[in-house]
Structure 1
Amino acid sequence: MTELTTIDGGTTRLDAELDALAADLTGTLVRAGDPDYDTSRALWNAVTDRHPAAIVRCATTEDVRRAVLLAAEHRLLVAVRAGGHNVAGTAGVDDGLVIDLGQMRDVSVDPGTRLARVAGGARLGDLDAATQEHALAAPAGVFSDTGIGGLGLTGGIGWLRRLLGLTCDNIVGATVVAADGTVHEVDEENDPELLWGLRGGGGNLGVVTELVVRLHPVGPEVYAGFVLHRADRALEVLHAYRDWSADLPDEVSSMAVLGAAPEDEAVPAELTGQPCVIVLACVADPDHGEELLAPIRDLPDPAADLSGPVPYVELQQLFDADYPEGMRYYWRSVHLPELSEEALLRSVDQMHRRPSALSTIDLWHLGGAMSRVGAEDTAFGDRSAPYLVGIEANWTEPDDDEANMRWARGCAADLDALSTGREYLNFPGFQEGGQETLRAAHGEANYARLRALKQRMDPQNLFRLHQNIAP
């Protein structure tokens, strides 16, 4: 017996309907009690433990369409899962239906047109492996197991952001299953308004089973900067980082990370796990890296300098070991108009307040190509802030949940008075800010356009668990 929750809070039994759906799928249907249920429902963030009534593991767009039709007909509470890495856990739902794209990971590359067709469940690693065969890349995130769909539809800030823009800026087409089961093939000539909404509007408008992404010549090697200093020099290093990043060419994307020194043979053993500041950077042309990073590498007495040419795919995997599936995460963010002295002082102070040595405060330098896209040119919204602070609470034990989430919220509140009032929607906490956060992120004009698109694509608000702008 399978009972599912509906969007009005009721329940319904659909045993026969689920049996019929399972018989028609190219993929598979998983229900509570099935041997692979727990592995199928598990999300990357262990804090967001969800127990759906049924999971449709789709293999084709037709599988997705059939699942959507069932959900719409019976008004089921439905979640859509691409990579399953949304920190807020929106890829799962208790007692509802999950439409899981995880088996749809194909990436096909046309090197002539420099376009990639990316299936809805593909990860960054899938995209990088396919595109780097042709020394091409799409700007994406910095963790190779991230789902392209969730990342790209909500923005996509990565190592190439200043040179090539956000992931969403490079989406030129999509296949979307709407709430009524219709399939929309979207590009810049066919429904450009919907394409506009997919460029940063989140997963609120339908199930995206394929993205078409613009590619650029990158790799196979880039120049990676990695310079580590002890925590007692944090302010000195951050002052230098602020001055250096103020005049960087678009070719350099960088960040300063306040966290713990990693275990590495190049890092003094006594520093492992101790507070530190790390300046990280990517220069797409490895021949220019040494010159462009010289000012930040020439600071005296670094504890370690691991900078040098690396394969692009290796840089994309740099953080993989730090973010294993099944750990516990809560991430927030603020945009800063400048790295003021007060912002730096507060950031360093908050580094020392972290309950977990795994947590970090990441100062991302923005600007460049991503900032030259107008606030209303994509649904993503305003890009004028030159810095983003990513506040990452990362820990292992359930008993430490409250302390770590309280730290991250306190850190965000501490910096909020210095901020532009806008969060990055891929680091949204657990969406506690609701519509106020969405309005600030998208801007009022974009918010209104997204609401109109929602009314057209999903008037009954079937897809309501992502960053939802109701119709």
Structure 2
Amino acid sequence: MTTLPTQSTLDTGALTELRESLRGPVFTPGDAGYDDAREVWNAMFADQRPAVVVQCAGVADVIRAVSFARSEGLEIAVRGGGHSIPGFSSSDGGIVIDVGPMKGARVDAQRRTVTAQGGMQWHELDHETQAFGLATTGGYVSTTGIGGLTLGGGIGHLARNLGLACDRLIGADVVTADGRVVRAGLGSDEESELLWALKGGGGNFGIVTSMDFQLAPVGPVVYGGAAFFPPTQLREILETVRGLMDAGMPDELTILVNATTAPPAPFLPEEMHGHPGIAVVACWSGPVEEGEAMVAPIRALGPAVDLLGEIPYEALQQLLDPLLDKGHRNYMKAGYLDALSDGAIDRIVEGHADRPAPACELHIHTMGGAAARVPADASAFPHRSAPYVINMMSRWESADQDDACLQWGRDVYATLEEHTTGGAYINYLGSEGQDRVRAAYGDESYERLAAIKAKYDPDNVFHRNQNITPA
């Protein structure tokens, strides 16, 4: 296996030729707009200075950028929404191939499918599909790119009802390391093995320029939103969620418990602002008239603020955006829970109380439902049986807090580790080494992915990701 070296200076003539061969703009250090073009969501990597950023206007630009990178020996970073937790959306001295400007979408309402270009964010795709009363599983933060979330699995408000984002993926166009455009699909004359790999295998196999999703009737109004509680009710909330799940919570209901700090929002009492609090975010995607009864157990806990009710699906998708905006320093440490045992709840409550910065959060996601019924070998995402995902979301503003906030996430996870399955979720994984990457797939799926990697990227050109070593 070989990887490309990092290079920081480029020949002027080669750059001129690149600019003239593209429809989209090219930025290099010193250009007006360079700093905006290199900006990423996670401020931990704000200092990365790529040698060149290519903002692709179409597939031809992607092909040309890959060819240029390989001829110039540049490390490639691929950017869609730019939300990579470990900073894979950029490269110091390399090339950023940014597909963000590629935002076309075509909905086939009769077949309930959508073909979306790889640069779309979830709020943009939701806008297109909701015009027809249709949706596919998207992320909890609507500014996340559809590509990164889907290729890593993709949990969200509809995961229990429709499956993961990757479960809804039925086709994709991929620019490979040798500049070919390959169609990954389910047809006999298409690359079905590549499609399997894209369903959770990350960006290891090429640059995905478009994705086809199977849609389902959702919205335009669902029942859900958020209820806010004081931190003293965290244990009671988790016990209630456990009871709902143990009793067979309907697939149409998804609950996220966010142990956080109350923002200075006008809908919250002023005495809550800046203090620890618990947000319970619910989505009932079944018949709207049944929603009130479905969230009644949450209401029965007596929230300080109750914003549960009928809500446009698009608004629900964007509900958490203000809490996770660009510019903070971020780190995640996550795993799967087989159960919300008393011991696990104890550790979660203690972890929330010990947060070193106000924006540090603990997320407990409910899983199961449709996501659990997909066979483990039907995609590269094998962790189907765990009913919960637990995520330590370290989030802070100043580099002076790096050590404390990084250590908090690691320490809380360490206290919970005995309650986890040992598996990892690619989209919530930092730079934790090959053992954790392998844990995201299990040995059998990892070896299958490594063989597919060897076919499409034998030189590991696309290694700015949770990397799978070519077989």
Q: Counterpart in 1 of 2:118? A: 120
1:356-367 equivalences in 2 (<5 Å) = 356-367=357-368
Query: What is the CA-CA distance between 1:202 and the residue it aligns to?
Result: 0.1
Q: Are the aligned partners of 1:376 and 1:382 in contact in 2 as well (CA < 8 Å)?
A: no
Q: Are the aligned partners of 1:129 and 1:313 in contact in 2 as well (CA < 8 Å)?
A: yes
Q: Counterpart in 1 of 2:24? A: 27
Q: Counterpart in 2 of 1:414? A: 415
Query: What is the CA-CA distance between 1:242 and the residue it aligns to?
Result: 1.2
Answering whether residue 424 of structure 2 is matched by residue 423 of structure 1, we say: yes
Q: Counterpart in 1 of 2:211? A: 211
| Number of aligned residues | 463
User: What secondary structure, in the 3-state scheme, does the structure 2 residue paired with 1:128 have?
Assistant: helix
Answering whether residue 45 of structure 2 is matched by residue 45 of structure 1, we say: no
Q: Are the aligned partners of 1:376 and 1:445 in contact in 2 as well (CA < 8 Å)?
A: no
Query: What is the CA-CA distance between 1:233 and the residue it aligns to?
Result: 2.4
What CA distance in whole angstroms lies between the structure 2 residues aligned with 1:338 and 1:262? Answer: 30
Q: Counterpart in 2 of 1:3? A: none
Deviation string, structure 1 residues 57-80 (Cα, Å, up to 9, x no partner): 111101100111122233321111
What CA distance in whole angstroms lies between the structure 1 residues aligned with 2:81 and 2:110? Answer: 28
Summarize the Cα distance change of 1:9–1:327 in structure 2 as closer, same or farther, 3 Å threshold: closer
Structure 1: gaps of 5 or more residues: 1-5
Q: Are the aligned partners of 1:197 and 1:453 in contact in 2 as well (CA < 8 Å)?
A: yes
Residue type matched to 1:152 in 2? T
Q: Counterpart in 1 of 2:171? A: 173
Query: What is the CA-CA distance between 1:268 and the residue it aligns to?
Result: 2.5
User: What secondary structure, in the 3-state scheme, does the structure 1 residue paired with 2:45 have?
Assistant: coil
Residue type matched to 2:86 in 1? A
What CA distance in whole angstroms lies between the structure 1 residues aligned with 2:220 and 2:6? Answer: 51
Deviation string, structure 1 residues 350-380 (Cα, Å, up to 9, x no partner): 1011111111101111000001112211011
Q: Counterpart in 1 of 2:298? A: 296
Relative to the length of structure 1, the TM-score reads 0.96
Q: Counterpart in 2 of 1:14? A: 11
Answering whether residue 68 of structure 2 is matched by residue 70 of structure 1, we say: yes
Please identify, of 360-369 and 393-402, the stretch whose mean Cα deviation from structure 2 is larger: 393-402
Relative to the length of structure 2, the TM-score reads 0.96
Q: What RMSD, in angstroms, separates the aligned Cα atoms of the two structures?
A: 1.4
Query: What is the CA-CA distance between 1:125 and the residue it aligns to?
Result: 1.0
Answering whether residue 450 of structure 2 is matched by residue 451 of structure 1, we say: yes
Q: Are the aligned partners of 1:46 and 1:329 in contact in 2 as well (CA < 8 Å)?
A: yes
Summarize the Cα distance change of 1:25–1:463 in structure 2 as closer, same or farther, 3 Å threshold: same
Query: What is the CA-CA distance between 1:293 and the residue it aligns to?
Result: 1.1
1:129-168 equivalences in 2 (<5 Å) = 129-168=127-166
Query: What is the CA-CA distance between 1:236 and the residue it aligns to?
Result: 2.1
Q: Counterpart in 2 of 1:324? A: 325
What CA distance in whole angstroms lies between the structure 1 residues aligned with 2:364 and 2:91? Answer: 32
Q: Are the aligned partners of 2:8 and 2:51 in contact in 1 as well (CA < 8 Å)?
A: no
What CA distance in whole angstroms lies between the structure 2 residues aligned with 1:448 and 1:461? Answer: 15
What CA distance in whole angstroms lies between the structure 2 residues aligned with 1:447 and 1:416? Answer: 22
Q: Are the aligned partners of 1:178 and 1:205 in contact in 2 as well (CA < 8 Å)?
A: yes
What CA distance in whole angstroms lies between the structure 2 residues aligned with 1:468 and 1:258? Answer: 31
Q: Are the aligned partners of 1:83 and 1:148 in contact in 2 as well (CA < 8 Å)?
A: yes
Query: What is the CA-CA distance between 1:266 and the residue it aligns to?
Result: 4.0
1:287-436 equivalences in 2 (<5 Å) = 287-299=289-301, 301-429=302-430, 431-432=431-432, 434-436=433-435
Query: What is the CA-CA distance between 1:10 and the residue it aligns to?
Result: 6.5
Deviation string, structure 1 residues 36-88 (Cα, Å, up to 9, x no partner): 11000010111112100001111110110011112223332111111111111
Q: Are the aligned partners of 1:107 and 1:126 in contact in 2 as well (CA < 8 Å)?
A: no
Please identify, of 267-276 and 41-50, the stretch whose mean Cα deviation from structure 2 is larger: 267-276
Answering whether residue 269 of structure 2 is matched by residue 245 of structure 1, we say: no
Residue type matched to 1:141 in 2? G
User: What secondary structure, in the 3-state scheme, does the structure 1 residue paired with 2:426 have?
Assistant: coil
User: What secondary structure, in the 3-state scheme, does the structure 2 residue paired with 1:330 have?
Assistant: strand
Structure 2: gaps of 5 or more residues: none
Answering whether residue 465 of structure 2 is matched by residue 466 of structure 1, we say: yes
Q: Counterpart in 2 of 1:231? A: 231
User: What secondary structure, in the 3-state scheme, does the structure 2 residue paired with 1:436 have?
Assistant: helix
Query: What is the CA-CA distance between 1:442 and the residue it aligns to?
Result: 0.8
Q: Are the aligned partners of 1:379 and 1:446 in contact in 2 as well (CA < 8 Å)?
A: yes
What CA distance in whole angstroms lies between the structure 1 residues aligned with 2:370 and 2:461? Answer: 35
Residue type matched to 1:290 in 2? E
What CA distance in whole angstroms lies between the structure 2 residues aligned with 1:296 and 1:268? Answer: 19
Q: Are the aligned partners of 2:7 and 2:93 in contact in 1 as well (CA < 8 Å)?
A: no
What CA distance in whole angstroms lies between the structure 1 residues aligned with 2:403 and 2:103? Answer: 36
What CA distance in whole angstroms lies between the structure 2 residues aligned with 1:10 and 1:324? Answer: 31
Q: Are the aligned partners of 2:9 and 2:51 in contact in 1 as well (CA < 8 Å)?
A: no
Q: Counterpart in 1 of 2:56? A: 58
Please identify, of 319-328 and 39-48, the stretch whose mean Cα deviation from structure 2 is larger: 319-328
Q: Are the aligned partners of 1:259 and 1:276 in contact in 2 as well (CA < 8 Å)?
A: yes
Percent identity of equivalent pairs: 41
Query: What is the CA-CA distance between 1:267 and the residue it aligns to?
Result: 2.8
Query: What is the CA-CA distance between 1:245 and the residue it aligns to?
Result: 2.6
Summarize the Cα distance change of 1:10–1:94 in structure 2 as closer, same or farther, 3 Å threshold: closer
User: What secondary structure, in the 3-state scheme, does the structure 2 residue paired with 1:356 have?
Assistant: coil
What CA distance in whole angstroms lies between the structure 1 residues aligned with 2:76 and 2:336? Answer: 32
Query: What is the CA-CA distance between 1:263 and the residue it aligns to?
Result: 3.1
- Aligned structure 1 segments of 4 or more residues deviating by more than 6 angstroms: none
What CA distance in whole angstroms lies between the structure 2 residues aligned with 1:29 and 1:233? Answer: 52
Residue type matched to 2:65 in 1? A
Deviation string, structure 1 residues 114-171 (Cα, Å, up to 9, x no partner): 1111111100011010001001011110111110000111111000000000100111
What CA distance in whole angstroms lies between the structure 2 residues aligned with 1:223 and 1:407? Answer: 35
